Amino acid sequence: MDDTPAFLDTGRPNVPDIVLPRGVTPFHLPRRPVRGRLVRLGPLADALLSRHPHEPVVSALVGQALSLVAALATALKFRGSFSLQVKGDGPVRMLLADCTDAGALRGYASIDAERLAALLVDRPTPTARDLVGSGILAFTVDQGADMERHQGIVSIEGDALETMALHYFDTSEQMPCFLRLACAHTPAGWRAAALILERVAGTGGVDPELDAVAADDAWGTAVVLASTVKDRELLDEQLSTDRLLFNLFHSEGVAVDRPCPLAYGCRCSRARLAEVLGTFGADDIDHMAEDGAITMTCEFCNMVFSFSRDDISAAA
C-alpha cells in the first residue's frame, strides 16, 4: 500500500474531506458473552453514495455494504484493507466496499443499466438477491504486496445482504452473530448504519459463574433485544449512539468502549494513475488514446482524469 498521507498527495482529486471521530462504537454487555459494534456513517454516507447517480435501491445496497465492512474491519487487528465483494449474475454485477485499518471507507457497484431498468419495472422494491442474482460473496484482508492475502468465499444465500453475510459467518465456523443493516435517503441526505453482535468465545470477560445454559440464555436475550431496533432509530441523528445502545440493552447493562473513526476513503490520485499508464507500451497507449489524450475514471469516487502523452512520459 502507498504510505503517503492523503493530505500530502497533491495529485488527489477534489473530493470531500470528511472524518467521523465516532463512526464505529464498540460495546459489550458486562459479564455476558456478548460484544458488538454500532456503525453510523452520518454525512459520510451521503458523501460516498452521492458520487454516483445510481437508482436509490442500488445506493441503499452500497450503503449497507459500506456499513458492514466498517463494522467488520474495526474488529480486526491488521494493517491494510478489509473488503467485501459480491459478484453475481444479476443487474448489479459487482458490489465492492472496503475499509482500511485507519477507517478509510469506499465502495461502488457495477451495473447493467438495461437489466436494472427492466427489473424495476417488474419489482419496484427489489431485494438484494434480486439485484445481485446468484454468485459469490467474498471477504478479503489485504495487507500489501509483501503479505499473504486472506480470503473467504461462499455462495450467495438469502434475500438480504445481512443474510448473505450471516451465511458466510455460519459456514466459516465463526462464533454466532447478529447483524442489522440500514440505509435510506433522509431529508439530510443518505444515511447508513449497522448493528452487529458477536458471541464471545471462552470465559474471558464473562461471569465465571455463568454455565453453558446461562450463557446460551444471555446470548439469546441479547439477540432478542437487538432485534427490536428499527431502521429509523439506527439512522436518526437526533438519537445519540449512547442513548440508542442504552435503549436497547439497559436491562442487561451495556458498556461503551473507545470509538473508532471513519473517513472518506477513496485512494485514487492523478500521480498514481499516471504511474499505472507509464507501465504500458507505446502501442497500448496509442490504442487507449482518443484525440491524443487518455481518459480514466475512478470507479469509487467517479472522478475523471485526462492524461496527455507528456504526462505519461513524465511518470514512466
Residue that wins the pLDDT comparison between 119 and 214: 119
- CA 113 to the chain's CA centroid: 23
User: What angle do the packed helices 161-171 and 56-73 form, to 10 degrees?
Assistant: 30
Compute CA 191 distance to the chain's CA centroid, rounded to the nearest angstrom.
Answer: 13
Task: Look up residue 33 and give its three cell numbers.
Answer: 458473552
pLDDT given at position 209? 62
* Alpha-carbon span 224 to 308, nearest angstrom: 59
φ and ψ at residue 180, rounded to 5 degrees: -135, 130
Tell me what pLDDT residue 13 has. 56
Q: What is the DSSP annotation of 25-55?
A: EEEEETBTTEEEEEEE-THHHHHHHTTS---
Residue located via cell numbers 468465499: 153
Is residue 78 classed as helix, strand or coil in its secondary structure?
coil
pTM for this entry: 0.86
Average pLDDT over residues 213-228: 94
Go through the domains of the chain in sequence order and give each one's CATH number.
Answer: 19-264 (3.55.30.10), 270-315 (3.90.1280.10)
> Tell me, what's the pLDDT at 211?
77
- Look at residue 232 and tell me whether its pLDDT is greater than 60: yes
Least trusted range by pLDDT, from 129-143, 167-181, 214-228 = 167-181
Q: What's residue 313's pLDDT?
A: 60
Q: What is the mean pLDDT of residues 187-205?
A: 85
Report, as an integer, the average pLDDT of 103-117.
Answer: 96
DSSP 220-255: HHHHHHHTT--HHHHH-TTS-HHHHHHHHHTTT--E
Q: What is the mean pLDDT of the chain?
A: 87
Q: What pLDDT is attached to residue 208?
A: 60
Average pLDDT over residues 74-81: 84
Between helix 212-226 and helix 241-249 the angle, nearest 10°, is 130
